[in-house]
């Protein structure tokens, strides 16, 4: 059974956090708090030295984790540990392909089996996915598809054939954590996607405030949102004070929850 098959119809909340940030021990506390709030989805970001599609906030979190010596193995163990209280929450790993290749595709998928429901590989386009997709499907893990405003309808159709879990709709061209949301464009593009697929569509990149969450959920046909950089930025805003951070994070997540 894959938790992503049981997502609610509307107002899905997916929370992204970097594994091992700011350190392995502190990361555990942060994820425990996120899990306690029972979002529909948690996205576990695996740090990479060259995160091409990420903005400064996530880059910084990756660097802090890596400077503390974090390994892929440790990240996967952390996710497994947190998953003891997983319940109905879906677990999604978000990473760059080089991380998986160095771990070994089979080994990586095996290490995720049983507690990871989906994987987002930022720099793996449709054209290159065959081998990994095969391995994932064998183990009941979904390969989550990214669609950007640059993806036209014809290409979307091709990419979303047999899509599973959810669709990650990138709200605007750009990297994570930047950009203002353009609701009109999001609305238009999500509408097009809705005609192509029944898989839930989540909007990410630049979603920050309660207002963003409400508007995307009510004024567009999207099924939910993904919040990432905003949660990490709070840590830096609080001068890296973990205690204060966890309290604020808790309040923040509660404020975003609609379901």
Partner 1 sequence: MDRYNKPNNIGRYGEFGGMYVSETLMPLLLELNESYKKIKKDKKFQSELRDLFNNYVGRPSPLFYAANITKYLKGPKVYFKRDELNHTGAHKINNCLGQILLAKKMGKTRIIAETGAGQHGVATATVCALFGLECHIYMGAKDIIRQKPNVFRMKLLGANIIPVEIGSKSLKDAMNEALRDWIKNVRDTFYIIGSTAGPHPYPQMVRDFQSIIGKEARKQILSIEKKLPDFLIACVGGGSNAMGLFYPFLNDKKVKIIGVEAAGKGSKTNLTAATMTAGTPGILHGSYSYVLQNNDGQIKEAHSISAGLDYPGVGPEHSYLKKNKLAEYHGITDKEALKAFQLCSKLEGIIPALEPSHALAYLFKAFKNKHKNKILILNLCGRGDKDLFTAAKEIGFDTDE
Nearer to partner 1, 96 or 245 (CB): 96
Sorted by sequence, the CB contacts under 8 Å of residue 244 that are 6+ apart come out as: 238
Single out the catalytic residue among 40, 54, 117, 212: 54
User: 115 vs 126, which CB is nearer to partner 1?
Assistant: 126
**Alpha carbon 26 to chain centroid, angstroms:** 20
Of the candidate residues 25, 85, 102, 139, the single one contacting partner 1 (CB under 8 A) = 102
Kindly state the smallest distance separating residue 98's Cβ from partner 1, in Å. Answer: 4
Which CB, 71 or 85, lies closer to partner 1? 71
**Residues of span 58-77 touching partner 1 by CB under 8 A:** 59, 63, 66, 71-72
- Would you count residue 139 as binding partner 1 (CB under 8 A)? no
If one counts every other C-beta atom within 10 angstroms of the C-beta of residue 254, the result is 9
Which strands sit side by side in the sheet containing 41-45, from one edge to the other? 142-143, 118-121, 90-95, 41-45, 12-18, 224-227, 201-204, 167-170, 145-147
Question: What span, in angstroms and rounded, lies between the C-alpha atoms of 128 and 132?
Answer: 9
Bridge partners (DSSP) of residue 142 are: 118
Q: How far apart are CA 13 and CA 203, in angstroms?
A: 10
Vertex 107, ends 104 and 108: CA angle to 5°? 80
Contact segment (CB under 8 A) with partner 1 among 30-38, 119-127, 209-217, 228-236 equals: 119-127
Q: Decide: is 98 part of the binding site for partner 1 (CB under 8 A).
A: yes
Binding site residues, partner 1, CB under 8 A: 48-50, 52-53, 55-56, 59, 63, 66, 71-72, 96-99, 101-103, 122-128, 146-152, 155, 159, 170, 173-175, 178-179
Catalytic residue numbers, as ranges:
43, 54
């Amino acid at each position: 059974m894959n938790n992503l098959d049981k997502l609610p119809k509307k107002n899905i909340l997916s929370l992204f956090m970097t594994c091992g940030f700011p350190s392995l021990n502190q990361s555990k506390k942060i994820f425990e708090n996120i899990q306690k709030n029972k979002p529909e989805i948690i996205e576990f970001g695996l740090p990479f030295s060259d995160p091409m599609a990420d903005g400064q906030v996530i880059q910084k979190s990756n660097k802090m984790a890596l400077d503390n010596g974090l390994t892929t193995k440790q990240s996967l163990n952390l996710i497994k540990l947190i998953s003891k209280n997983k319940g109905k929450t879906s677990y999604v790993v978000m990473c760059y392909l080089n991380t998986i290749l160095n771990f070994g595709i089979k080994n990586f998928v095996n290490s995720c089996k049983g507690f990871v429901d989906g994987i987002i590989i930022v720099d793996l386009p449709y054209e290159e996915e065959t081998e990994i997709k095969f391995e994932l499907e064998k183990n009941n893990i979904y390969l989550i598809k990214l669609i950007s405003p640059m993806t036209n309808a014809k290409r979307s159709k091709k990419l979303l054939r047999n899509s599973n879990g959810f669709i990650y709709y990138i709200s605007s061209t750009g990297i994570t954590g930047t950009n203002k949301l353009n609701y009109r464009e999001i609305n238009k593009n999500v509408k097009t996607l809705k005609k192509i697929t029944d898989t839930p569509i989540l909007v990410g990149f630049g979603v920050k405030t309660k207002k963003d969450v409400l508007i995307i959920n009510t004024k567009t046909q999207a099924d939910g949102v993904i919040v990432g950089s905003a949660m990490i930025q709070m840590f830096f805003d609080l001068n890296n004070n973990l205690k204060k951070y966890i309290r604020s994070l808790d309040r923040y997540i509660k404020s975003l929850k609609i379901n």
